[in-house]
Amino acid sequence: MTVTAFDSNSAHPPTGDRPVVARVFALTDVGRSREHNEDTFLVADLETGRPVGFDDGALDLPASPRGLLFLVADGMGGAASGELASSMAGTLVLEGLRRQWSQATTAPSPEQFAEALRDSTMAANVRIHEHAREFPEHRGMGTTATIAGLLGDRLFLVQVGDSRAYVVRDGAAQQITKDQSLMQRLVEAGELTPEEAEVSDRRNIILQALGPEAQVTVDLTHQQLRKGDTLLLCSDGLSGLVKADEIAQLSTGESDVRMLCRKLVDRANHRGGPDNITVVAVRFDGAGLLSSSGQDSVGYTAYPLAGTLFEQTRDTPIVPRAPRTPIKSDPAPKQGVRMPTRAERRDLDESEQAASAQRRPLVEPEVAERRARVRPLLVLLACVAVAAVVWTVVQLARR
């Protein structure tokens, strides 16, 4: 996990003479194989607390002092349940943020903004879970959620599940979220190579979602923006078929975010479109943003906030084992996302225990071996010390 020092004053609220402007468009498509669309997107101005629509094309949204919100959610649990869960995620997260802003008289600080995103997402999880318990026909419903909040010149991202966020800068696309999936965990533990994970028949298994469990621990990250950056939020119906280098190529070659969304969706559909496809594209500009430089970093960067995955993982880094030779296989159509079964959770626990053993080698044998290696040297030094003492005593006696 990458963690950088965070300056609480680094997310500067935009001002009239130094604005930050987001050119944004969003598109969702049922794909070629599904009968229902269980994906949802949401874009909202947090100053007004209302979502915006795209009936007339892309929008230019000035970043208000309370920020902007972008969200993609991929529902699971069947058509009615999946659609409901993803829709509830967007509605409830925005509702939670609006409730907090209504009680504030000043614009939020970066830490307050991050806390509000965390708390609103966790509250949405509780509401979705309670709804599933109250209505048995929706039992097991859940949804991924990739939520980006813009405050000044900085993005804050909440991640639950395996929808993704990318930032395209200077012709390169970097994933700035980390999948909460079985495959991601096994790759980090060294059990699979990335190539094997891409073709695994279990690549649709996610480890967290909003709704299935009463509690969820969100992943919270942040990213400093530069002028000309493009943010892409997408469901795995896109990221599973269109790779980062293609996203970068299309984004760099298309100045219109509306056409960019359409080209990305068309490419995923051209490759079979086995799942729903959703993308939110945001291009940032304005005098409130600095130009990019070679010293800038783009990527997954944890925001150190209590109650997030940062607390759980900061003291237990995963040290990958040597990668094995990739298994060559043709990718199969991916089924809808789901939570792991008990047997799969048991396998995951065993893999994590094995990874832990790799991270914590047997200490005593190593210590014993090192002691055996240095023992002759210690004996020699001891003899020299004794000889020196004897020589000193003899010299003193002669005097």
364-386: average pLDDT: 60
- pLDDT in the model for residue 323: 34
* Distance in angstroms (rounded) separating the CA atoms of residues 74 and 337: 8
Residue bearing tokens 């970068």: 248
How much of the chain exceeds pLDDT 70, in percent? Answer: 76
pLDDT at 197 over 50: yes
The amino acid at residue 342 is R
Arithmetic mean of pLDDT over the chain: 84
56-85: average pLDDT: 93
* Distance in angstroms (rounded) separating the CA atoms of residues 361 and 381: 31
Q: Give the number of other Cβ atoms within 10 Å of residue 75's Cβ.
A: 33
Q: Which among 318, 364, 75 is positioned nearest to 192, based on CA atoms?
A: 318
When pLDDT is cut at 50, 70 and 90, the band that residue 396 belongs to is confident
Architecture of the domain made up of 21-313 = 4-Layer Sandwich (3.60)
Contact 231, 281 (CB under 8 A): yes
Q: Where are the domains of the chain?
A: 21-313, 364-399
115-134: average pLDDT: 97
Tokens of 357: 């053993």
179-195: average pLDDT: 90
Q: pLDDT higher for 367 or 70?
A: 70
Alpha-carbon torsion 283, 237, 276, 71, what sign? negative
* Distance in angstroms (rounded) separating the CA atoms of residues 19 and 63: 7
121-149: average pLDDT: 96
pLDDT at 367 over 60: no
- pLDDT in the model for residue 137: 92
* Distance in angstroms (rounded) separating the CA atoms of residues 232 and 262: 13
78-86: average pLDDT: 90
The amino acid at residue 27 is L
| pTM attached to this predicted model | 0.80
pLDDT at 195 over 90: no
Q: pLDDT higher for 163 or 318?
A: 163
* Distance in angstroms (rounded) separating the CA atoms of residues 23 and 289: 14
Q: Which among 232, 297, 287 is positioned nearest to 63, based on CA atoms?
A: 287
Q: Give the number of other Cβ atoms within 10 Å of residue 183's Cβ.
A: 22
pLDDT digits (tens, 9 = 90+) for 206-252: 999 999 999 999 999 999 999 999 999 999 999 999 999 999 999 99
Radius of gyration of the chain (CA): 26
How much of the chain exceeds pLDDT 90, in percent? Answer: 61
- pLDDT in the model for residue 343: 65
- pLDDT in the model for residue 360: 37
* Distance in angstroms (rounded) separating the CA atoms of residues 145 and 276: 15
* Distance in angstroms (rounded) separating the CA atoms of residues 224 and 235: 23
pLDDT digits (tens, 9 = 90+) for 22-36: 999 999 999 999 999
98 by Cβ neighbours in 10 Å (0-12 / 13-18 / 19+) ranks as: middle
Strand partners, 279: 27, 234
pLDDT at 399 over 70: no
Q: Give the number of other Cβ atoms within 10 Å of residue 137's Cβ.
A: 10
